[in-house]
Amino acid sequence: METKELEAFVKRIRQELTTLADKKTRLSGERFFKEKVKIYGLKTVLARNLSKSYYSEISHLPKKEIFDLCEELWKSGYVEESFFACDWSLNQRKNYQPEDFDIFEHWVASYVSNWASCDTLCNHTIGEFLMKFPDYVSWLKIWAKSPNRWMRRAAAVSLIIPARKGLFINDIFEIATLLITDREDLVQKGYGWMLKAADNAHRPMVFDFVMKNKASMPRTALRYAIEKMPPEMKAVAMAK
């Protein structure tokens, strides 16, 4: 796809998103975020259906060209456009190669500015990449030390899907330890969610981790981590 074709294609998407935007939906969506976000105002189902429709026009293109389109969509800062980019990059999962990690890291560092875009990219695109190339999990420990709160949240939520499958348990505990006293509530919720996902396959280990660290864990992270545990275990974990 030539540059002019790429620009025309993205312009067509933005024109349709603008046409379908609904003020009531936009105002409702904005309430889900503490930070200021850019939203057209489309219900998620409609945005995802549009993403699927437009992808059918480009699915024949090489991965690089699709990732170039994703890059353009990320640049706008609009939540709905980030969903398109996340869907399209996930659709390329069979074609992932190790060098794609640099692209995904760049998207997190440069464009992610809210929890919805962070989680959609990390849960799926990056989660799938890590299951295919597990050596790259070590990079999440560098993200966990970043001054960028979205990188720190990404360090945790990129392991949600792998954690549910019982993978990377030692890495999960290492990342949770790095984030244990983080002051950002969205980071606390992120690593608490990661621990909750790991609870599916490793409940005794997760419970032991919580009990050893509950004195330093913020209550927000603690509540997330134990959410699916039996009432008696929750009571012990929450006891001061």
Q: CA 160 to CA 196: how far, in whole Å?
A: 9
Q: CA 110 to CA 133: how far, in whole Å?
A: 23
Q: Residues 153, 134, 98, 128: what is their CA dihedral angle, to the nearest 10 degrees?
A: -60
DSSP state at residue 2: -
Q: Are 151 and 189 in contact (CB under 8 A)?
A: no
**What's the mean pLDDT when you consider all of the chain?**
96
Q: CA 207 to CA 230: how far, in whole Å?
A: 11
Nearest to 65 by CA among 116, 103, 113, 12: 103
Those residues of the chain that have pLDDT short of 50 are: none
Q: Could you tell me what percent of the chain has a pLDDT over 70? A: 100
How confident is the model over 125-180, as pLDDT tens digits? 999 999 999 999 999 999 999 999 999 999 999 999 999 999 999 999 999 999 99
Query: Would you state the pLDDT for residue 233?
Result: 95
Token pair 């597990």 is at which residue? 134
Question: Residues 52-59: contacts with CB within 8 Å, 24+ apart?
Answer: 52/87, 54/9, 54/13, 54/84, 55/87, 55/88, 55/91, 57/9, 58/1, 58/9, 58/88, 59/91
- ∠180-160-35 over CA atoms, to 5°? 65
How many helices and strands, by DSSP H and E, does the chain display? 15, 0
Query: Would you state the pLDDT for residue 5?
Result: 87
Nearest to 107 by CA among 93, 125, 134: 125
Query: Would you state the pLDDT for residue 35?
Result: 86
Query: Would you state the pLDDT for residue 49?
Result: 95
Structure tokens at 234: 């929750």
What DSSP letter does each residue of 102-144 carry, written as one string? HHHHHHHHHH--SHHHHHHIIIIIIHHHHHHSGGGHHHHHHHT
